[in-house]
Amino acid sequence: MAVKKAAAKKTAKKTLQKKWVYLFEEGNKDMRDLLGGKGAGLAEMTNAKLPVPPGFTITTEACNTYVALGKKFPKGMWEQTLKSMKEVEKQTGKKFGDPKNPLLVSVRSGAKFSMPGMMDTVLNLGLNAETMVGIEKLTNNPRFAQDAYRRFIQMFGRIVMGIEAKKWDAIFDGVKEKYHAKQDTDLGVDGLKEVVAQYKELYKKELGEEFPEDPYKQLELAIQAVFGSWMGKRAVDYRRINKIPDNLGTAVNVCTMVFGNQGDDSGTGVAFTRDPGTGENELFGEYLVNAQGEDVVAGIRTPMKIAELKDKNSKVYNEFRKLARQMEKHYREMQDLEFTVERGKLWMLQTRTGKRTARAAVNVAVQMVNEKLITKEEAVQRVDPQQVVQLLMPQFDYKAKEEATKVGKQLAKGLNASPGAATGLAIFDPDTAEKLGKEGKSVILVRYETSPEDVHGMYASKGILTQHGGATSHAAVVARGAGLPCVAGCEGIRVDEGAKMFSADGKTIKEGDSISIDGGTGEVFAGEIKTVLPDFEQDENLKTLLGWADEIRLKKSRKGMENAPELGLQVWANADYPRDARMARKFGAQGIGLCRTEHMFFETERLPIVQKMILAKNDAERQKYLDELLPIQRGDFIGIFEAMEDLPTVIRLIDPPLHEFLPSYEELLVKSTELRVRIEYMHKDGVDNSTEKAQLKETEEMLKAVAGMKEANPMLGLRGCRLGITMPQITIMQTRAIIEAACTLKKRGVNVHPEIMIPLVGHVNELKNQRDLLEAEAKKVIEEQAVDLEYKFGTMIEIPRGALTANEIAEYAQFFSFGTNDLTQTTFGYSRDDAEGKFLLKYVEEKILPENPFQSLDQTGVGRLMEIAVKEGRAVKPNLKVGICGEHGGDPSSIEFCHRTGLNYVSCSPFRVPVARLAAAQAALTPISKDK
């Protein structure tokens, strides 16, 4: 009995053992968290009966446990790996390490989210001196066996053991030169044997030990290398840039090797089910004859287009095309596929969601709705709001580009790997590119070919140019994901990275010279070319997608929210001039959330009047200049109202300190000193200096006035409503100008909706003072004009005390608008200009702050104040309209917070209105969790 219990206990313990390893047939597409994207894709293709080489996946949990245990395999993982290898041996009829019929495998990384080229891969694992002979006999192809062996030694030595790539390349290039081999494939058996021998010598010299012959030791070290690459610098940098969490880990995929380098009836390819640059519904990709997978993505040889495979091997092409369509229909998404042809037989090695340009993302989303593959809601969720920004990226001015071509500035033409136009300094190494990029300089990174180690320099650049590589090379994939223009495989240039220069068509471009690249056409030019914005009006697919977004945020807005506004989260714009308002409307803005009146004061012809008004010695003199400004301001507002017609327009009364309209104290001091010296010299020379004396008198009066206005901290000084209280004539004039302009339009039959915003209110009595004063003026104007006009008075919540006393302030406000730029400054106690210039970047890099709070809303601090203000304001006035008009109004994550908090609108720059429309729809589609 005791024996039975012990056996049962042992069985239960065995049953409960953690599963670290899954055969491909044990997984599916929904196991991305555990198996990573590649592993889940291989499992799904296996279960769909596609031709997938047998293999297994070691889970992301194993990776995280390995890291947590100080780089030790979790208990039971290695044993499960060995057991799975036995199963693969059964399925293939081969044995791992068997000299006669050897099983060779690839060991590849595969995280939940695609990170192309950022982690490690080892091919041909299991080769040693004995199994190499076995492969040679089985294939009757000595060159293939030697080539596979030299590839494995190099990859293992470089990736697993960390020997520099250039040392391997030097050996290979030296042997190629000895045998006069132009291409890798020109090197024969004898040459490859020399390469293998020299590779083994290098390995021993660098590491002090022989190259490992035991296939299981090779496998153990390769798995450790892939796990370790998750925390490698390039992978960490990529995750930081793309906001991928560190705790996801990577899976390890161990897959039976199939060989594309067995002759002209073999090859390897990478293809997308649709064009990742344009979204066109045609197979897009590349194929290399007699090559292994890394040859395509590394850009070592320039491949043929996938369509050319149809002529070379129509049977394989048609089979692949059928499987590609099957996978796209199965996943209901554009796929990125890797495949190998081994002696005429097609093998599928990967399927994953294809990375694409912004243009392709929009086009594919709209096409798939029209093809009834996905819904409108899915289409809206598939386009990243930042991709909309990329669609509005500059392109080269047609005439400027034509002229550059005509005068011979075109240097070469390569593959149009990622669209967009860029001009910058030619820089030949990623570190310098990163350094100059941080200094705000425009850089084009020029490389012979890029590698994953270049990623930090690529992201700091405005564009990328490579001599080698194709449209699916590392450079192209990273560029498309980052929205960077890229010209790849530009064989017309000769890059010398050591000398930091490239030559093309008899011309030499040195580091620091300006070049221009067109990622849409593949053209490369010397010098700078003027750029222009694309035409939003002609972009039918983008307008269609944004139209769906507008429908969705209205339809879905109230789900899961008690205080959601009836019309959903609207998108308004910040516009200071009629041209801004017209652009905002073109981009789909539903109102103006911020019109800054002080910007109008800086216009050249009116600034002298503003300065005289500020320097006035008494109220009567000040009123004289305000009377001059009144018709000018009225004209400004008429222009804004005309552009917006019947849409609401929020106009903020003067906000900045008055000294901002005057010359700086330091400039005036220098000018005063220079005038005194000039007057003295002119006097000595007997030259009339009356003009200079008059200028000195005027300058010194201005200097005295500026000195009198000088404040220790002007951003917290006499500005906003405080200025209106101490100098009421200014805001009275502005209110009159606004209401007179509105009445003028109303008389023309335009149903305008002016909303006057009083800024920087921290105490209810400030708002009460200003509203009582200004509403009296508004009523007076309406009576004079004899029109019926609706208007509102509200306030900007940008002081913490204003948010905390929102219940009091709501008594006198008809709307709230969060000025989150100042609210962030006053909540954190930061001066934005000083913080961003001196320490904020370091705070973000060292994770003291998760993000720059001036770019993405601090939801736990500033956001908490906003939540309090909304809740307490609406407790007093349930229908209180609340919006946001800081720069955060165009940030997708901040927009999602505004939706969740129940705001009526977000207001952003006109250019970001399309971004906000999409982000607001995505926020409406996001379920509201109870803990938020």
| Residue that wins the pLDDT comparison between 690 and 56 | 56
- How does pLDDT run across 440-478, given as a tens digit for each residue? 999 999 999 887 678 789 889 999 999 987 665 667 767
Selection from 485, 481, 474 nearest residue 444 by Cα: 485
Please count the other Cβ atoms lying within 10 Å of the Cβ belonging to residue 166: 9
- How does pLDDT run across 195-232, given as a tens digit for each residue? 999 999 999 999 999 999 999 999 999 999 999 988 88
Query: Does 931 have pLDDT greater than 70?
Result: no
Q: Which residues are CB-contacts of 726 (< 8 A; sequence separation ≥ 6)?
A: 718
Q: What angle do CA 10, 11, 15 make, to 5 degrees?
A: 120
Cα separation of 619 and 264, whole Å? 92
Residue 412 pairs with which residues in a beta bridge? Answer: 524
Structure tokens at 741: 């302009």
Q: What angle do CA 283, 284, 290 make, to 5 degrees?
A: 105
CB 433 within 8 A of CB 460: yes
Q: Which residues are CB-contacts of 204 (< 8 A; sequence separation ≥ 6)?
A: 210, 211
Q: Long-range CB contacts (< 8 A, 24+ apart) of 892-896?
A: 892/385, 892/386, 892/919, 892/922, 893/856, 893/857, 894/820, 894/856, 894/857, 895/569, 895/919, 895/920, 895/923, 896/922, 896/923, 896/926
Q: Looking at the chain, how many residues does it have?
A: 932
The pLDDT score that the predictor gives to residue 916 is 94
Where residue 296 falls among pLDDT bands split at 50, 70, 90? low
- Ranges of H-type helices in 332-468: 358-370, 376-382, 385-391, 398-406, 430-438, 455-460
- How does pLDDT run across 250-292, given as a tens digit for each residue? 999 999 999 888 788 889 999 999 998 889 999 999 999 888 7
Q: Give the rounded percent of residues in the chain with a pLDDT score beyond 70.
A: 94
In this structure, of 57-71, 188-202, 658-672, the range with the lowest mean pLDDT score is 658-672
Cα separation of 665 and 675, whole Å? 15
- How does pLDDT run across 577-600, given as a tens digit for each residue? 898 899 899 999 999 999 988 777
- How does pLDDT run across 612-630, given as a tens digit for each residue? 898 888 999 999 999 999 9
Selection from 907, 902, 927, 926 nearest residue 917 by Cα: 907
- How does pLDDT run across 747-757, given as a tens digit for each residue? 999 999 999 99
Structure tokens at 524: 């490369």
The pLDDT score that the predictor gives to residue 913 is 92
Q: What angle do CA 15, 19, 23 make, to 5 degrees?
A: 115
Backbone φ and ψ for 23, nearest 5 degrees, come out as: -65, 155
- 694-716: string of b/e by CB count within 10 Å (b at 16+)? ebbeebbebbebbeebeeeeeeb
CB 192 within 8 A of CB 150: yes
Backbone φ and ψ for 224, nearest 5 degrees, come out as: -60, -40
Mean per-residue pLDDT, 504-509: 91
Query: Does 12 have pLDDT greater than 50?
Result: no
Q: Which residues are CB-contacts of 626 (< 8 A; sequence separation ≥ 6)?
A: 613, 729, 730, 733
How large is the angle between the packed helices 215-229 and 60-68, nearest 10 degrees?
Answer: 80
Cα separation of 847 and 831, whole Å? 20
Q: Which of 63, 255, 885, 898 is catalytic?
A: 885
Average pLDDT value for the chain: 89
181 class by beta-carbon count within 10 Å (0-12 exposed, 13-18 middle, 19+ buried): middle
Q: Which residues are CB-contacts of 671 (< 8 A; sequence separation ≥ 6)?
A: 663, 699
Strand 267-272 and strand 335-342: the pairing is antiparallel
How large is the angle between the packed helices 619-644 and 578-586, nearest 10 degrees?
Answer: 20
- DSSP code string of 257-269: ---S-SSTT-EEE
The pLDDT score that the predictor gives to residue 929 is 53
- How does pLDDT run across 727-783, given as a tens digit for each residue? 999 999 999 999 999 999 999 999 999 999 999 999 999 999 999 999 999 999 999
The pLDDT score that the predictor gives to residue 8 is 43
CB 853 within 8 A of CB 835: no
- How does pLDDT run across 113-126, given as a tens digit for each residue? 877 767 778 989 99
- DSSP code string of 8-46: HHHHHHHHTS---EEEGGG--TT-HHHHHHHHHHHHHHH
Residue 573 pairs with which residues in a beta bridge? Answer: 592, 908
Mean per-residue pLDDT, 491-509: 92
- How does pLDDT run across 851-873, given as a tens digit for each residue? 889 889 999 999 999 999 999 99
The pLDDT score that the predictor gives to residue 664 is 79
How far, rounded to the nearest angstrom, does the alpha carbon of residue 466 sit from its chain's CA centroid? 22
- How does pLDDT run across 134-156, given as a tens digit for each residue? 999 988 889 989 998 999 999 99
Cα separation of 722 and 384, whole Å? 42
Structure tokens at 693: 């004396």
Cα separation of 289 and 261, whole Å? 7
Question: Mind spelling out the 3-state secondary structure of 96-115?
Answer: CCCCCCECCEEEEEEECCCC
Where residue 299 falls among pLDDT bands split at 50, 70, 90? low
Cα separation of 846 and 156, whole Å? 34
CB 484 within 8 A of CB 422: yes
Strand 881-884 and strand 905-908: the pairing is parallel
Strand 501-504 and strand 493-496: the pairing is antiparallel
845 class by beta-carbon count within 10 Å (0-12 exposed, 13-18 middle, 19+ buried): exposed
Cα separation of 482 and 462, whole Å? 10
Alpha carbons within 13 angstroms on the beta-carbon side of residue 238 total: 24
The pLDDT score that the predictor gives to residue 919 is 95
Where residue 77 falls among pLDDT bands split at 50, 70, 90? very high
- How does pLDDT run across 412-443, given as a tens digit for each residue? 998 888 878 999 999 999 999 999 998 999 99
Cα separation of 915 and 908, whole Å? 10
Cα separation of 894 and 879, whole Å? 22
Helix (H) or strand (E) holding 592: strand 592-596
Give the SS3 label for residue 886. Answer: coil
- 337-347: string of b/e by CB count within 10 Å (b at 16+)? bbbbbbeeebb
The model's pTM: 0.75
893 class by beta-carbon count within 10 Å (0-12 exposed, 13-18 middle, 19+ buried): middle
Q: Find tokens 């041209």 and name the residue.
A: 579
Is 456 considered catalytic here? no
Q: What angle do CA 101, 103, 105 make, to 5 degrees?
A: 160
Query: Does 826 have pLDDT greater than 90?
Result: yes
In this structure, of 496-500, 532-536, 666-670, the range with the lowest mean pLDDT score is 532-536
Q: Which of 456, 468, 474, 899 is catalytic?
A: 474
Where residue 722 falls among pLDDT bands split at 50, 70, 90? very high
Is 490 considered catalytic here? no
CB 192 within 8 A of CB 151: no
The pLDDT score that the predictor gives to residue 723 is 92
Mean per-residue pLDDT, 149-177: 92
- How does pLDDT run across 571-580, given as a tens digit for each residue? 999 998 898 8
The pLDDT score that the predictor gives to residue 589 is 95
Where residue 559 falls among pLDDT bands split at 50, 70, 90? very low
- How does pLDDT run across 677-715, given as a tens digit for each residue? 999 889 888 888 889 889 999 888 888 888 888 888 878
